[in-house]
Amino acid sequence: MLRNIAIIAHVDHGKTTLLDGMLKQGGVFRENQEVAERVMDRMDQERERGITIISKHTALTYKGHKINVVDTPGHADFGGEVERVLLVVDGVLLLVDAVDGPMPQTRFVLEKALSAGLRAIVVINKMDRPEARPDWVVNETFDLFAELGASDEQLDFPVVYATALDGRSSLREDYEDAVDLQPLFDTILTAVPEPKVLADKDAPTQAMISTIDGDTYLGRLGIGKLFAGTLKPNQNVTVFRRDGSRYNARLQSVFVYEGMKRIPVEEAYAGDIIAVTGLPEITIGETVATGDDPQQIPPPNVDEPTLKMTFAVNTSPLAGREGQFSTSRKLRERLFKELETNVSLKVEESETPDSFVVYGRGELHLAVLIETMRREGYELQVSMPEAITRVGENGEKLEPFERVFISLQDEYAGGIVQALGERRGVLMNMQQSDRGDTRLEIVIPTRGLLGFRSRFLTLTRGTGIMSALLEGYLPWAGPLPHRSQGSLIANESGMTTNFGLANAEERGELFIGPGTEVYEGMIVGRHQREGDLVMSVCKAKQLTNMRSSNADISVRLTPHTEMSLDRCMEYIGPDELMEVTPKNVRMRKRELNFKLRKRSEKGE
């Protein structure tokens, strides 16, 4: 007996933590085995950011039943991972926080699951919190199901109350009988149907590839669901590409999942999640088939990107010092290789041979790609994110809009509404929650959100929560206000000094400290007024014999603002670039020379 399920939820509602508990109680680990928290998060960035970025497969056994489980991302920027994974499962565990209830990303992932015809088990997580309100959460979740057009069968969802961190669950709202996750496992067996297969085991094989992985010894692996027939090692197959073209190939090995491992098998059967090797060109959305008349499974539809950035070869004076890969050929190879596994991404070659236009689902989607590349040793420069526009049926210009959900203290609501209103945002709903905070719902152009998150944290003193979902393409909202503050720009190359930075500090906020190597045109801080200010941050104090030792007390500087890659992406403007190397992230002007910048501004 077999069950295929995916765990879906809003960011930080406990998907990966729940899976940890399921694996421990599913007999995957020995009783005395030490297991790291969030064991399924293998990427460094997943552990650092505290989110799931790529989907992962695992399997466990309960009462003689094999349960294949897929951990999915909760952030809408990685929706491509969710969309394709839902093709290979037959049910979902929808995790909802016992205090917060359904959040914006809950709507996103649930809508995808319901449209795929999947039944959901609602897991009210974090029941150990003193302020837990499960009855209210269940009602809100039911309303969300109804709003998203769930069928009568989907509306009749079972509810499990759990604390993923402790590995306990219950079918009772009072939660008094919660001991382990047995109630959750039993609910999975009764509520999730057996895998949907297209035919019996003697029928021609059809398998859909939903994930790509790699192995040092095995090479490229295609992971997906076997919908019909069987698959064996060394079997001749036909591979259908997404565009409908096909080619013949020969499998090497076939694997199924047991716990955290892939186990080679002599034959895999319809309904199971499998991994195959021997297909070096295999990619996501392709069909592996056999028979005299092989048939293709329709590839998944993935939402279109909404943002674009230009990735180019680094041209700064410090280029080539810190990166292992810095040529246009290496940059091109890496970006087009990313397309094999990142279905939400698009890459186009630009008019110049050393730059490429990269399209993504959101700022976080592109930031994760840039951070991954720099950790791999790549050196590049990128432009500010831009919203992708379209032309409507009537020839009008369309742009993407986001529906923004904000939860914050009442005293900050006015400032946030005003700030987003200046960016063409329209307040759609405003209400007080029973917890005393204010919830805002605002529709705003995607352009209006670019660079706003850091200001949002400032305006709410770090206490606000903001999430956004794509609303759709609507008529162009018009020009947006320019950045209210300019940048502090270095006017020479060299090492920064306390004396030079002290003068700059009087004019704004510093991004770098003393002893940092800079070059002409590099951004070293934020100007306190509109417009850029060019300054010398490398000059030293002139010493003379007339000066006493007491007068030469060292200059004290205010600690500078650390600019992470994400914050730099938000900060840079249309005439600025972000220089990314394995060791540093710098910001600079497109045109480094001050006189040439002024000339171009005048249109000469």
Over residues 423-469, the pLDDT tens digits come to 899 999 888 876 678 888 899 998 888 878 878 888 888 888 787 77
The pLDDT of residue 160 is above 80: yes
For residue 24, say whether it is annotated as part of any ligand binding site: no
Mode of pairing for the β-strands spanning 2-9 and 91-97: parallel
**pLDDT tens-digit readout, 44-100:** 554 555 555 556 778 888 888 888 888 777 555 555 566 677 778 888 888 888 888
Q: Where are the beta strands (DSSP E) in 98-164?
A: 119-125, 159-163
The pLDDT of residue 29 is above 60: no
The pLDDT of residue 498 is above 80: yes
Question: Looking at per-residue confidence, does 333 or 179 come out higher?
Answer: 333
User: Quick one: pLDDT at residue 44?
Assistant: 57
Average pLDDT, the chain: 83
User: Quick one: pLDDT at residue 488?
Assistant: 92
Q: Is-contact 300 83, C-beta < 8 A?
A: yes
Tokens, residue 218: 């095995």
- How far apart CA 37 and CA 26 sit, in angstroms, is 16
Q: What angle do CA 85, 248, 219 make, to 5 degrees?
A: 55
User: Quick one: pLDDT at residue 33?
Assistant: 45
Using the 8-state DSSP alphabet, how is residue 325 labeled? Answer: B
The pLDDT of residue 579 is above 70: yes
Token pair 């019996």: residue: 200
- How far apart CA 578 and CA 576 sit, in angstroms, is 7
Q: Is-contact 234 109, C-beta < 8 A?
A: no
Tokens, residue 322: 């810190």
CATH architecture of 2-191: 3-Layer(aba) Sandwich (3.40)
What number is the average pLDDT over the span 261-289?
A: 87
Nearest partner of 40 among 27, 53, 25, 26, judged by Cα: 53
User: Quick one: pLDDT at residue 262?
Assistant: 84
- How far apart CA 274 and CA 255 sit, in angstroms, is 6
What number is the average pLDDT over the span 123-150?
A: 89
Task: In the chain, list all ranges with CATH 3.40.50.300.
Answer: 2-191
- How far apart CA 475 and CA 396 sit, in angstroms, is 7
Q: Is-contact 368 79, C-beta < 8 A?
A: no
Token pair 């909802």: residue: 96
- How far apart CA 385 and CA 366 sit, in angstroms, is 9
Specify which residues 119 forms β-bridges with. 91
Q: What angle do CA 325, 330, 335 make, to 5 degrees?
A: 115
How many Cβ atoms sit within 10 Å of the Cβ of residue 298? 10
What lies within 8 Å, CB to CB, of 437 at 6+ separation is 407, 408, 409, 410
Percent pLDDT > 70 in the chain is: 88
User: Quick one: pLDDT at residue 260?
Assistant: 72
- How far apart CA 2 and CA 60 sit, in angstroms, is 10
What number is the average pLDDT over the span 128-155?
A: 89
Question: Looking at per-residue confidence, does 199 or 589 come out higher?
Answer: 589
Domain 390-475 coded CATH 3.30.70.240: yes
For residue 14, say whether it is annotated as part of any ligand binding site: yes
| Amino acid letter, residue 320 | G
Band (347; pLDDT cuts 50, 70, 90): very high
- How far apart CA 314 and CA 326 sit, in angstroms, is 7
CATH architecture of 487-546+553-562: Beta Barrel (2.40)
Token pair 């059967």: residue: 269
Task: In the chain, list all ranges with CATH 2.40.30.10.
Answer: 206-289
Q: Is-contact 223 211, C-beta < 8 A?
A: yes
Q: What angle do CA 452, 454, 458 make, to 5 degrees?
A: 110
What number is the average pLDDT over the span 242-250?
A: 87
| Amino acid letter, residue 329 | R
The pLDDT of residue 38 is above 50: no
Q: Is-contact 392 398, C-beta < 8 A?
A: yes
Band (205; pLDDT cuts 50, 70, 90): confident
What number is the average pLDDT over the span 520-536?
A: 91
Token pair 């249309």: residue: 574
Token pair 């009442």: residue: 410
Whole-structure pTM value? 0.77
Q: Is-contact 97 134, C-beta < 8 A?
A: no
DSSP sequence for 334-370: HHHHHTTT-TT-EEEE-SSTTEEEEEESSHHHHHHHH
**pLDDT tens-digit readout, 279-321:** 888 887 889 998 888 888 888 776 678 889 999 999 999 988 8
Band (510; pLDDT cuts 50, 70, 90): very high
Least confident of 34-43, 278-287, 397-406, 419-428: 34-43
What number is the average pLDDT over the span 498-516?
A: 89
How many Cβ atoms sit within 10 Å of the Cβ of residue 552? 10
Give the 3-state secondary structure of residue 512. coil
Least confident of 128-132, 253-257, 539-543, 550-554: 550-554
- How far apart CA 378 and CA 371 sit, in angstroms, is 10
User: Quick one: pLDDT at residue 520?
Assistant: 93
- How far apart CA 99 and CA 232 sit, in angstroms, is 48
For residue 17, say whether it is annotated as part of any ligand binding site: yes
What number is the average pLDDT over the span 6-16?
A: 75
User: Quick one: pLDDT at residue 36?
Assistant: 43
Q: Is-contact 536 492, C-beta < 8 A?
A: yes
User: Quick one: pLDDT at residue 30?
Assistant: 46
Own/partner pairs, 170-176, CB within 8 angstroms, 24+ separation: 170/127, 173/134, 173/135, 175/127, 175/134
User: Quick one: pLDDT at residue 40?
Assistant: 46
Q: Where are the beta strands (DSSP E) in 56-164?
A: 56-62, 65-71, 91-97, 119-125, 159-163
How many Cβ atoms sit within 10 Å of the Cβ of residue 462? 8
The pLDDT of residue 345 is above 90: no
Nearest partner of 252 among 262, 264, 242, 263, judged by Cα: 264
The pLDDT of residue 601 is above 80: no
Q: Is-contact 327 46, C-beta < 8 A?
A: no
The pLDDT of residue 588 is above 50: yes
What lies within 8 Å, CB to CB, of 262 at 6+ separation is 221, 255, 256, 275
Which region holds residue 259: left if phi is over 0, alpha if psi is between -120 and 50, else beta?
Answer: left
User: Quick one: pLDDT at residue 224?
Assistant: 87
User: Quick one: pLDDT at residue 81?
Assistant: 62
For residue 16, say whether it is annotated as part of any ligand binding site: yes
- How far apart CA 294 and CA 237 sit, in angstroms, is 9
Domain 206-289 coded CATH 2.40.30.10: yes
